[in-house]
Structure 1
């Protein structure tokens, strides 16, 4: 087909330089290749960006969006490129807009217990600064040492502490957002309650940059709890028994900040790496941590571990020992990833609290039926199940057995009234499941919302909803 182009790449770059004079605009092949795919995403993008643009202020953002409208170009927002669902991969002839240099903590206000930050601020950086005035930023995704508040906001990132403090949306009080047409919105504010108008603030939290570009975020901060830190771990006969113990802990008024279940395959991997013998005494381990606690909580945990015949029980209120026990929750990663012959994919399937053992047992059986290596962990306080599937790192394509296992897990999760993404968001990886997850009516409404706020469908197209 013969095409007569209306503009050239040079035309776009010239317009960008005028519209966003303070931005760093890169078009060289090495820079484009570096930002082509998310570092941890499963899907590698074959597409090439038109330009990678690092903005330095809000006017740069508006200029990039004006250029995108003029030339009908897609815009992909990216900060640390740490999406695990390929949510900020390159698109063909797209403008990638990086907010990495918008990385200032505007203020930390101990009196109002909040912080105002730019999207490029790293999660743990904010938490460390808040700690200096006796506060903490609670959302704690596993990526908190390198993921940004902007990316966490765009994906509504969660973590182990969501059990006690909620996910990112529960800490976001206000946003400054620039729409595709250049309008700047100030949503929410600096109050802990606000019932005026529709809740547009949380419409944008988790929207993956498909509705607007976030340039400032106001978040609540929590006081660092007083009292002792208690941590405990126990091995149980099977996952169903562990689930009963976890339910008892949730209902006992202990308010854990961590409650993680590990399956038999994880225990075997940890035993192999660390010369322990957890798997000798059962198929499942529960790791619990409670912040700002007391002797009553310690006694309650001991009673529950005993009631459900927990083995190799570790339970303490000594800070140093507690941190070591709580560290068992993260010890699964070096144990699993020590197998250098495999590459891995981890998902985030969330089901009702009473169903997490059902899904974990199903995952284990899927591994057996499909002859697939699968390790499964769960945040036993909020029902988020993390199956980690491995296959030969030399395979050019993902094996059919792995794809079949993942699809079966997605279907089972929906069947259990769960969601196939609890904290990683949708990205490009799961966008095809929108109709099955949400149903036709809600799917259509989501498309209408997208069209209202981004009528040209320029912002991160084919992500979040497809």
Structure 2
């Protein structure tokens, strides 16, 4: 590329040599996220701007040279959305890590994209406030990445996904200009909802440089209930009744038999499920006091009526934390059995059992382990495939299982992604789900905001 040296020189002039990485041994660490099967390329450079103005300079320099930009946070994504393409500039936002403002009276925070999710949660907690979205990687993923993929987490059943907590954004557009969307007020319907357009856009429309986030009053210490069922079908009956009866726990997670077994071995503890448990349902209520006790008692009764072999409720923080740790440890536990890749499909809550059963059949067909955990409260399931990455045959089988799970999710009236995004591994499936007209509208929006296809080309869909 004849313009490459000029682009690098211009980036160095704008950011300084320490913030422009070109050594392949260094830039290789920024080539991909946590999805091992998604394609990736080799970047021309990795840049780490430390201000909004520097982000604007990077965008303008790349636009003038026709060099694509791939925005990236911490790299914790699970769809390949932050994966580099050949000769791109990877724009890393982790140096933009300031919590600009915490407004206790209006219950909002203004943050830059490089702020770590857990750091924000800890900071607002000191003001008696709560930032709800809690992806599994909340202790190292960044707010920018959460915004780009519209991340969810364990608390979605009660508090919603990331977009439900976003009031406004600042975004650098393809011409380097700075767009401000949204507002700081509780209500506001002036114009198109541009904020929600950019949340979940996976860096294909611009670079988010700031977010105004809605906060909640800090919840009460949660009570925790665990119920073990002889079969996933019984757990599914319980989930359906919880929804039908209008209960809204702050957390409702499900683990299948494979997940239970690997976690008990990994943590060297028993979850109380007993031998041969088919499923585990984990619920919490953060309503506090008698309200929480009534909610958990109602959940206990539903699980008992649905055929649970064991139902146990605790208000002990340490015991509840241990149970939640078991749910969060599933991927780490599976890692001891081989390489893993996790899928992300969301189905109607009445179809969770069908999805789990279908995954068991897919696992038997391909001869690989598939463990299913997920957010039972909203139907967002994470079937995780265990395979040997050094075996071409097993990699091919993992791809086959991944595709079969997506097809299963769609056949059950679901969606190909509930919170991880489309990225560079589900483009074909996005087209299947949205259809021709839906894809045409996506491409027209992309062309209007990014006519040169500058931002993250090839992610989500091809123009």
Q: TM-score range by the shorter chain?
A: over 0.9
Q: How does 1:258-407 map to 2 (within 5 A)?
A: 258-273=251-266, 274=268, 276=270, 278=273, 280=275, 282-293=277-288, 294=290, 295-339=293-337, 342-396=338-392, 398-407=394-403
Kept after mapping to 2: 8 A contact 1:289/1:326: no
- Matching of residue 423 in structure 1 with residue 419 in structure 2: yes
Kept after mapping to 2: 8 A contact 1:270/1:332: yes
Task: Note the C-alpha offset of 1:462.
Answer: 0.2
Question: CA 1:215/1:26 → structure 2, altered by over 3 Å: closer, same or farther?
Answer: same
The alignment partner of 2:381 has SS state of strand
- Is 393-402 or 88-97 further displaced after alignment? 393-402
Q: How does 1:67-466 map to 2 (within 5 A)?
A: 67-226=61-220, 229-273=222-266, 274=268, 276=270, 278=273, 280=275, 282-293=277-288, 294=290, 295-339=293-337, 342-396=338-392, 398-466=394-462
Kept after mapping to 2: 8 A contact 1:235/1:281: no
TM-score by length of 2: 0.94
Question: CA 1:14/1:402 → structure 2, altered by over 3 Å: closer, same or farther?
Answer: closer
Structure 1 stretches lacking a partner, 5+ long: none
Task: Note the C-alpha offset of 1:452.
Answer: 0.3
Using the alignment, how far apart are the partners of 2:18 and 2:263 within structure 1? 47
Task: Note the C-alpha offset of 1:29.
Answer: 2.4
The alignment partner of 1:292 has SS state of coil
Using the alignment, how far apart are the partners of 2:333 and 2:68 within structure 1? 41
C-alpha deviations, 1:143-166, integer Å up to 9, x for none?
110000011000100111011100
Using the alignment, how far apart are the partners of 1:171 and 1:251 within structure 2? 26
Structure 1 runs, 4 residues or longer, greater than 6 Å off: none
The equivalent of 1:13 in structure 2 is: 8
Question: CA 1:307/1:59 → structure 2, altered by over 3 Å: closer, same or farther?
Answer: same
Using the alignment, how far apart are the partners of 1:307 and 1:39 within structure 2? 40
Question: CA 1:78/1:275 → structure 2, altered by over 3 Å: closer, same or farther?
Answer: closer
Using the alignment, how far apart are the partners of 2:378 and 2:63 within structure 1? 41
Question: CA 1:175/1:195 → structure 2, altered by over 3 Å: closer, same or farther?
Answer: same
TM-score by length of 1: 0.93
Tell me how large the CA RMSD over aligned residues is.
1.9
